[in-house]
Amino acid sequence: MMLPISVASPVGVSLVLFATTVAILVFFSGRKTWNRWKLQTKKNRIILFTRYPTPGLTKTRLIGELGETGAARLQHYMTDHMVDVVTNVQQHCPDICVEIDYCGGNEQDIKYWFDRKTSLKCIWNEQQPGNLGDKMSSAFRNSFQQGAENVLIIGSDIPGINRDLLREAFTTLQDSATKDNLLLGPALDGGYYLIGLNQINSSKLENLLQGIDWGTEKVREQQEERAKSVGISVCHLSKVLQDVDTIDDLPVVEEFMGISVQQIKSPRLSVVIPVLNGVDEIQNAIATLIKRCSWPQFMEIIVCDGGSEDGTFEKVEEIAKSETKCPIKVVRSSRGRGKQQNAGFSHSSGDVLLFLHADTLVPERFFEEILLVLGTPGVSAGAYALDFDKLYSDNCSLYLHYILRMIRWTARKRATKYELPYGDQGIFLTRQMFEKLGGFPDYPLMEDYELVKRLQKEGHVKICEESPAITSAKRWEKYGFSNTLQNYVTVIAYEMGVKPATLARWYYGSSQKKNK
């Protein structure tokens, strides 16, 4: 005999919650499967072969010149460069599926690397076992079985591949009067940087990529002979390109990617500090940066003054003249953190950028932490966990201590769970990423928030949870938790569409009233 269960009863509520949870999971799982199926059914496909950039296992022939970390960094950069190229092709030709076939790492590593790139619609698969011919045969076979008609395979170590070449490749395959066509992009070393097929007989595919001495200068010649022996015609792309395997190939990276060997081996850091009437804070910030930097010879500090009237500009000039461990510049700019930080960037030369508030102190070994975080595939930027100087002071009242601990906890939860740090946590990223996003928006307020939102569309914003930056608690000491509440209200208003200029009037007007 079944007993009736009231929806309002504990059991009924539990069943409703369970059913709702299952429905939500099924919905999102189904949507993910549907999106993958839609991609797989597109008629044209680009398959990018790459290796996860693990130091010591990647670009091993370059380790002697670049070191294990540098060789892995090069692989990381080249893969991201090729992903940007195929993304650009896909945006101009929507009927293209991008597939990333990887070796090394695992599916979670690859998902972390690519799942945040909102402009890229892709699928990924682990490369099949065997030699290169076996891997490519499997990739072609799976693509044709899923309905693709024209398939290109490219490697991640050919920086010269661009949108025009890939469009030429598809046009060549699509314009063929018959099937069974093989397209090759000739490489300088006797191999090929691209191989393309339109749908061919499965028995021909099984034999097409066998019996080839991979990794030798005979690859392209043997491939052409193999194709003709199984009845497949061969055509070539118009450009001969060079892949990157040895020291002699590295100039290609700088030519097509704008990255020098020195940048790969030993990236330089530019620390940009906006300041306004902060003579005491800026002295402490600069001293801490130099003291806690493992390689000050690879760092520069740019202080951008927004019109200080307390001698800040002159004090930094004085420090710059006497400092010998790293160069220090001080420049003037119109007032506003976004404007000041962009102005500071325009005077910088580093490969990596750290935007730091004048009242924030970096942790120990911060430069090493920055390189480690930005070396993680899938990370577009990073920041430090938030901490307050007053929490380590003997004259901090019990009430203030409680307030600051609560604010620190909520700030860290917000930053780590939603990958949403604020400017006082020290935001760092590569020069290429900053330029790609166009720098800080010219906002009188919310410039750091908007930059981070844009960064989230390019990758993950990783928080250094074990390495907090110590920021001044003066504002919270003066206004208490209401300062944090005001920040939250400002963020909500911004997300609802209130203009930054209006928010600035509210925010700074409120601050001015408080100061009175």
What pLDDT band is residue 199 in, cutting at 50, 70 and 90? confident
pLDDT at 163: 95
pLDDT in tens, 48-100: 999 999 999 999 999 999 999 999 999 999 999 999 999 999 988 888 999 99
pLDDT in tens, 307-325: 999 999 999 999 999 999 9
Domain 27-257, CATH: 3.90.550.10
Alpha helices in 422-499 (DSSP H): 431-436, 447-456, 474-479, 481-495
pLDDT at 118: 85
pLDDT at 484: 76
**Residue boundaries of the structural domains of the chain:** 27-257, 266-479
SS3 call for 36: helix
Average pLDDT over residues 120-126: 91
Tokens of 305: 């003054």
- Is the separation of the CB atoms in 333 and 439 below 8 Å? no
pLDDT at 36: 60
- In angstroms, the first-to-last Cα distance of the chain is 74
Asked if residue 465 has pLDDT above 80, the reply is: yes
Tokens of 504: 């600035």
- Identify the architecture of domain 266-479 in CATH: Alpha-Beta Complex (3.90)
User: Which among 158, 152, 149, 213 is positioned nearest to 178, based on CA atoms?
Assistant: 149
What pLDDT band is residue 204 in, cutting at 50, 70 and 90? confident
Give the sheet arrangement for strand 460-471, strand by strand: 328-332, 299-305, 269-275, 352-355, 427-430, 379-388, 460-471, 360-361
pLDDT at 489: 87
pLDDT in tens, 157-181: 999 999 999 999 999 988 765 567 8
pLDDT at 384: 96
pLDDT at 22: 55
% of the chain with per-residue pLDDT over 90? 72
Helices then strands, each counted (H, E), the chain? 19, 15
- Is the separation of the CB atoms in 291 and 256 below 8 Å? no
What phi, psi does 54 have (nearest 5°)?
Answer: -90, 125
User: Which among 515, 437, 441 is positioned nearest to 478, based on CA atoms?
Assistant: 515
pLDDT at 33: 56
Place of tokens 């990783």: 462
pLDDT at 58: 93
Q: What is the 3-state secondary structure (H, E, C) of 226-267?
A: HHHHCCCEEEECCCCECCCCCHHHCHHHHHHHCCCHHHHHCC
What pLDDT band is residue 209 in, cutting at 50, 70 and 90? very high
Q: Which of 44-58, 198-212, 423-437 has the lowest mean pLDDT?
A: 198-212
pLDDT at 28: 46
CA distance 98 to 310: 56
Asked if residue 353 has pLDDT above 80, the reply is: yes
H-run or E-run covering 513: helix 500-515
DSSP conformation letters of 270-326:
EEEEEESS-HHHHHHHHHHHHHH-S-GGGEEEEEEES--SSSHHHHHHHHHHH--SS
Average pLDDT over residues 117-121: 87
pLDDT in tens, 236-287: 998 999 999 999 999 999 999 999 999 999 999 999 999 999 999 999 999 9
- Is the separation of the CB atoms in 331 and 446 below 8 Å? no
Type of residue at 465: E
Kind of pairing, strands 360-361 and 192-198? unpaired
Exposure letters 239-272 (e unless 16+ CB within 10 A, then b): eebbbbbeeebbebbeebbebebebbeebbbbbb
Mean pLDDT, the chain, as a whole number? Answer: 89
Q: For the packed helices 279-292 and 312-322, what is the interaxial angle rounded to 10 degrees?
A: 30
Tokens of 348: 């910088």
pLDDT in tens, 480-506: 767 777 888 888 898 899 998 998 888
What pLDDT band is residue 1 in, cutting at 50, 70 and 90? very low
SS3 call for 480: coil
Average pLDDT over residues 392-403: 88
Two domains, one topology: 27-257 and 266-479: yes
- Is the separation of the CB atoms in 110 and 124 below 8 Å? yes
Dihedral sign for Cα 226, 230, 231, 236, please. negative
Dihedral sign for Cα 197, 202, 203, 207, please. positive
Asked if residue 289 has pLDDT above 80, the reply is: yes
With the CA atoms of 347, 304, 433 and 165 taken in that order, what torsion angle do they form, in degrees rounded to the nearest 10? -30
pLDDT in tens, 443-456: 999 999 999 999 99
Tokens of 47: 């398959």
* E-only strand ranges, 143-191: 150-155, 181-186
Q: How many Cα atoms sit within 13 Å of 35 on the Cβ side?
A: 11
What pLDDT band is residue 515 in, cutting at 50, 70 and 90? very low
Asked if residue 188 has pLDDT above 60, the reply is: yes
Tokens of 422: 């604020």
pLDDT at 299: 97
* E-only strand ranges, 86-237: 96-103, 122-126, 150-155, 181-186, 192-198, 233-236
pLDDT at 435: 96
